[in-house]
Amino acid sequence: MRYGHTGKVLRVDLTRGTIATQVLDEELYRMYPGGKALAAYLLLSELPKGVDPLGPENMLVLSNGLLTGAPFSTATRFTAAAKSPLTGGYGESEAGGFWGPELKMAGYEAIVITGRAASPVYLWIKDDHAEIRPADHLWGREPEEAQATIRAELGDKLIRVLQIGLGGMGAVMGSKNLKGIAVRGSTKYLENAAEPSVIADLGKTLAKRVKENPLSWDLQVKGTPGLTAGLNASGILPTRNFRAGAFEGVDNIRWEQYESQLLSARRSCYACAVRCKREVKVDDRYQVSDNYGGPEYEAVSGFGSNCGIDDLQAIAKANELCGRYTMDAISCASVVSFAMECYEHELIGPEQTGGLELRFGNAEAMVRCVEMIARREGIGDLLAEGAKRAAAAIGGDAHFFAMQVKGQELPMHDPRGKVGVGLSYATSETGAEHLTAFHDAVLANPDSLQFKGVVPLGISEPLPPRDFSRRKVEYYTVMEHWNNFGKTNGLCYFGPAPRSFIAIEEVVDAVNAAAGWDLSLEEMLRIGERANNLTRVFNAREGFTRKDDTLPERLFTPLEAGALQGVSYPRDEFERALSDLYEIKGWDVESGVPTREKLRELGIEWAADLI
């Protein structure tokens, strides 16, 4: 008997127009219980080396975690993974909302999409029924309109429709002529759980705890835009393409202004009492629809301070355009700030921008540039390729202004003030990513809520944010395994400790209560480690080595302003820490590739034969 999951994977071949259902063995599922782990296993074991990410041979995997759809806060996430057109390596992103839980209620742990449809289609899944339907009439339509049309023609207002644009995953979906995936399910999560009362009780406990815990209270009241002022005071608010760590216009973009100028409602993902999603509406100098989520911190800083812009309405508009055109706000904002710096250094000029004065601080030009990227107009056609490829085409010093790793643009966190985040940026299999392990300040004070939250992971020694000792790297590694387990089980980053209000022991209990397992915390960390190694092997097979685990050169130069003015990322310590990390993880120190011994220890020696 299996609990908490059906083991069912829906296989859709768009070239042939066929649909089949596969049922995974319980033992296999236990090794890769959904989300990142299952996606990495499927991609590594089935995709050959060297496929064209935008060709029909690429696979798009959409996988729920074991806990996705469980009726307690933050159990909402699903993974979208494929070979990335942005990096050429393993590509992945997670999202919350309602789609993953609905897919779970329809009885599927994952959908694997291969091939390419001859003409635009969308997929319709209702419990055991799945069909490929024509979408010629939806192609080129904006998400809200396309979704409304799909709901109307299927006659169900509650259908959840997936349309993605994350880390190149949207481009993969588009390359397959797949416009969207509409889902409706009818099996409640608790009907399949081994111990439903444990899950239900946790749901009640967490719903009550949201307002009683300062960390979740903060996420509910302010959400991530509450970070802006504190990061500015810390000297690590990315400003003008990471030249500085403090922004003179911060008072115009901090949370208090966001709340008074933009906020129209606080929204929630499925069954989540945290309600950290911001809804915004503007009807003034810009028109911003409330159909798309409001800017998160990443967009506030990315389109704001990092472009030298303190106009919240323009920031909200740029963020809305990203939603409207299903583009990732981090990459898009970072490409705009890259282009602004190129313009200021006369590497590009009005002849390339169509007369647009693309300078830091020009809010109107920033918004227009986002439109041009979305529509691939003028220089937008080049910028849509990402900062790395755009820099190569522009030439000269442009590569120095491209703040990217492996082709993925940097999120809005400056590692010069938190060195462990630099290790994340350098070594994450998806390129620069800020949710790989931890943000160093978690470890600063042993009496703080966040530090106490990670003590069960064996973390005991407080370490300052710029400490780069081997101990820091050890803690980094265990936190990375914990986060990878989170990306596997379907919990949001804002759920479990250290970021928010669910104790590590509660996660362990919930997983076992859902699946009827008796896994220890160590075994769950091992699942996270296994997922990490699978993705590392995926990249090694594509030719990635230690030389690709690096950081943009600018980070090794001093910050120009702010509380950390003059501080650089420590190059020598970084190289030593990288060797420490490989050693601790059981990877070859010279190449950065997992050893056969490590893969055998993780029960995936078959992966060693693929390198």
Partner 1 sequence: MRIHLGGHLGWYDGEKRDWLTIEQSDPISLPALAARLGVPPEEVAIIAVNRRLAHWDDPPVRDGDVVEFFPPMGGGAVGGG
**Cα–Cα distance between 304 and 536 in angstroms, integer?**
34
Per CB under 8 A, the segment of 52-60, 461-469, 506-514, 543-551 that binds partner 1 is: 461-469
Among 54, 444, 521, 611, binds partner 1 (CB under 8 A): 444
**Cα–Cα distance between 563 and 258 in angstroms, integer?**
24
Say how far residue 84 (Cα) sits from the centre of its chain.
13
Per CB under 8 A, the segment of 85-93, 225-233, 318-326, 603-611 that binds partner 1 is: 225-233
Contacts of 162 (CB under 8 A, 6+ apart): 62, 99, 180, 181, 182, 183
Per CB under 8 A, the segment of 9-17, 345-353, 391-399, 441-449 that binds partner 1 is: 441-449
**Cα–Cα distance between 354 and 318 in angstroms, integer?**
19
Neighbouring C-beta atoms of residue 333, cutoff 10 Å: 31
Among 278, 439, 541, 585, binds partner 1 (CB under 8 A): 439
Structure token pair of residue 98: 């309602």
With binding defined as CB under 8 A, does residue 263 bind partner 1?
Answer: no
Neighbouring C-beta atoms of residue 547, cutoff 10 Å: 8
Contact between 500 and 215 under an 8 Å Cβ cutoff? The reply is: yes
With binding defined as CB under 8 A, does residue 333 bind partner 1?
Answer: no
With binding defined as CB under 8 A, does residue 275 bind partner 1?
Answer: no
DSSP 123: E
Q: Which residue, 170 or 453, is less far from partner 1 as judged by CB? A: 453
Phi and psi of 396, rounded to 5°? Answer: 60, -140
Q: Which residue, 450 or 477, is less far from partner 1 as judged by CB? A: 450
Instruction: Compute CA distances 123 → 10, 169, 173, 279, whole Å.
Output: 11, 17, 12, 28
With binding defined as CB under 8 A, does residue 455 bind partner 1?
Answer: no
Phi and psi of 354, rounded to 5°? Answer: 70, 30
Among 233, 393, 455, 589, binds partner 1 (CB under 8 A): 233
Q: Least distance from C-beta 145 to partner 1, angstroms?
A: 35
With binding defined as CB under 8 A, does residue 580 bind partner 1?
Answer: no
Per CB under 8 A, the segment of 73-81, 99-107, 232-240, 383-391 that binds partner 1 is: 232-240
Q: Which residue, 243 or 418, is less far from partner 1 as judged by CB? A: 418
Strands (E), 178-281: 178-184, 263-267, 277-280
Helices (H), 413-520: 419-427, 449-453, 470-489, 504-515
Total length of the chain: 611
**Cα–Cα distance between 207 and 282 in angstroms, integer?**
31
With binding defined as CB under 8 A, does residue 450 bind partner 1?
Answer: yes
With binding defined as CB under 8 A, does residue 79 bind partner 1?
Answer: no
With binding defined as CB under 8 A, does residue 563 bind partner 1?
Answer: yes
**Cα–Cα distance between 6 and 22 in angstroms, integer?**
10
Q: Least distance from C-beta 158 to partner 1, angstroms?
A: 35
With binding defined as CB under 8 A, does residue 180 bind partner 1?
Answer: no
Q: Least distance from C-beta 360 to partner 1, angstroms?
A: 22
Q: Which residue, 414 or 548, is less far from partner 1 as judged by CB? A: 414
Q: At 91, which helix (H) or strand (E)? A: strand 90-95
Structure token pair of residue 185: 């399910």
Q: Which residue, 465 or 495, is less far from partner 1 as judged by CB? A: 465
Among 464, 503, 576, 588, binds partner 1 (CB under 8 A): 464
Contact between 289 and 279 under an 8 Å Cβ cutoff? The reply is: no
Site string for partner 1, 294-313 (x = CB under 8 A): ---x----------------
Contact between 25 and 518 under an 8 Å Cβ cutoff? The reply is: no
Per CB under 8 A, the segment of 44-52, 196-204, 222-230, 542-550 that binds partner 1 is: 222-230
Name residues contacting partner 1, limited to 418-437 (CB under 8 A).
Answer: 418
Per CB under 8 A, the segment of 63-71, 125-133, 161-169, 216-224 that binds partner 1 is: 216-224
DSSP 210: T
Q: How many residues interact with partner 1 (rule CB under 8 A)?
A: 38
With binding defined as CB under 8 A, does residue 257 bind partner 1?
Answer: no
Among 214, 260, 284, 547, binds partner 1 (CB under 8 A): 214
**Cα–Cα distance between 163 and 143 in angstroms, integer?**
7
Q: Least distance from C-beta 212 to partner 1, angstroms?
A: 9
**Interface positions with partner 1 (CB under 8 A):** 214-215, 217-218, 221-222, 226-227, 229-231, 233-236, 255-256, 297, 413, 417-418, 439-442, 444-445, 447-450, 463-467, 563-564
